[in-house]
Structure 1
Amino acid sequence: MKLSDYRQCVEINQLLVGMGISEISALPEVRFETEVTKRFERKYLDKQDVEISEKLSKSAIPVNKSEISVSSGIFLEYKGRKVSAYIRDQKSSIDFYRKQSSYKYHLCNCETLQTMKDIGREHRYLVTQRTDGFFEVHDLTVEPVRKGDVRMELCKNCLKLMDERKIYFTPFNLKQYFQKYDSYTPKTIRKIEEVREIETYSPKQNDYSREYRKACKYKCQICFVNCDMNQNLLHLHHVDANPSNNERHNLKILCVDCHSKQPLHSHMLRNPKFKNQIDLIKKIRINQNILSVCQ
């Protein structure tokens, strides 16, 4: 006759543990972490504003009179930026071989520009922030129109205004001018963004119970009954009977029946609630073919 394996008997396992002959295995290590959503403000450079700056620094932009403003009384500005203004379509005195033109460029709201406005010819101007001293021009005296970069001198009326205010310097160059007088701050767009992060937290009693039951796959550490469908039948047991000692070595996950068999826990058997739960555990063991009262 084949004898039952006593090592699978619930009562014997409970007895061996109670006598200190067998030890309950250590709980799996658990990290108490939670996912949190953090909101923060991020600044992005305005794409259109960046495109304007890039175009001004490399080429020129046609403008009308309403788009050019004057700052500090004299300086020409376009959308908040210091600029130089010039006529691109020219009809005389262009020497592409020497890369020179007799036309002038402007930095100030000088007498010449005011005269051009009075006669309605200010639409001919383009603005730029090129610092190399060259300007793209079109020679309209030839067919097809010839295009190229040439040097031009600063308008004498602009020079006079700057000299009077002691802001002209020699030798004069546009790179130094823009560095000194253009204090434009690029526009930014503010957006509220969310990011999810994993953070550790200080667990409470319910957290220990929940996470360690999950780590044990909802099985009792003595009888191995599976309580995944009745998780309330699994308890968090404190070996030293001190509920505030939640060190992992002091904790075990036990079904209500095995819990009631632990030292100093016999009072559970006098509680009708626990007695009903113990009866339910015994039924679950039968369904799971876990031996009880070894036969």
Structure 2
Amino acid sequence: MSIELPDFLRWTSFNGLRTRVRAPLAAPFAKRVEYREIELSTEELLQTRGIDVDADDIEVLQDGTLGYKGRRVLVYIRDVNVMGNREHMPRYHFAFCATLSKMHQNERGERYVVATRDTGLFEVNVIGSTVQPKDVRLNVCQNCLVHITWNGFGYHQAKETRVEQVKGFTLVDFFEKYPRDLLSMKPKYTSDDAPINTYPQGWENISSTVRRLRGYRCESCSLDLSAHPRYLHVHHRNGQKNDNRDNNLVALCIGCHAQEPLHAHIRHLPDALEFRRLYGTRE
């Protein structure tokens, strides 16, 4: 059997008596609950919604990929504007490719977000009449694939072949080859046995052979330089001039070579000026 207690606050005589003796109302019997915002760690944020960063916070690693606070990361644009009822989704990047280099030169790096999620899904803000955050499957940047020659990827290939390789690219495979955790990677060399970063003996022969095997064609913009091979350079992807493994060497025209990180000085060379007169700018 339940008993319903009377509501004393509705009794005029009770409230009058309470007022005369200056007795305050009792605090509610319900337990007060305080809510605290859950703070996610850097690792959890990278694996979920990503972290907004300044361009200066992103490190370009020796192999050309991107790092942030000891982690190898992906970079993308979170805010997507709706134009004519259509959403133009960005690509995500894993390397300091020609696209990122140009964005950096145009001072648009502040628009980027870093993440380490390997599902292919990225949180974007679709901006129309309202802002709608949602997870979207983005495609990889083709310039990034070119930058590290992922499975031989290059603009010398037919468009259909490149499209198929983009579809087949997975971040699980990428992070297996390029691990996220940079701090746990043991350096290949110590200060005692690290080789000097300079071209080895016979570099001219190596360079000539690479250009010939690549058909005297730029592996970035596909420009055929068989008539002027001196305008085709051989670039070391990881910046190590003593690392002449085939997958570390890429044939680039002077214009594309000048867009590589720390290679802007190339555009001022006499050959570069002559190249632009013959072929125009490649930037």
Q: TM-score, normalised by structure 1?
A: 0.40
More strand by share: 1
- Ranked by relative contact order (alpha carbons within 8 Å, sequence separation 6 or more), the top structure is 1
| Higher Rg | 1
TM-score (norm 2): 0.42
